[in-house]
Amino acid sequence: MAEQRRDERDERDGRDGARGVPEPSGREALAAEADAWQDLVATARRTVTEGLVVGTSGNVSVRVGDTVLVTPSGVPYDRLAPGDVTGVDLDGRQVLGTLPPTSELPMHLAVYRTTDAGAVVHTHAVHATAVSTLVPELPAIHYMSAALGGTVRVAPYATYGTDELAANMLRALAGRSGCLLQNHGTVTYGATLAQAYDRTAQLEWLCHLWLTASAVPGLTPALLSPDQVASAAEKLKRYGRRQG
Catalytic residues: 104
Percent of the chain with pLDDT over 90: 83
Nearest residue to 237 via CA among 157, 158, 146: 146
- What are φ and ψ of residue 154, in 5° steps? -105, 120
Mean pLDDT of the chain: 90
Confidence bin at 20 (pLDDT 50/70/90): very low
- Cα-to-chain-centroid distance, residue 60: 6
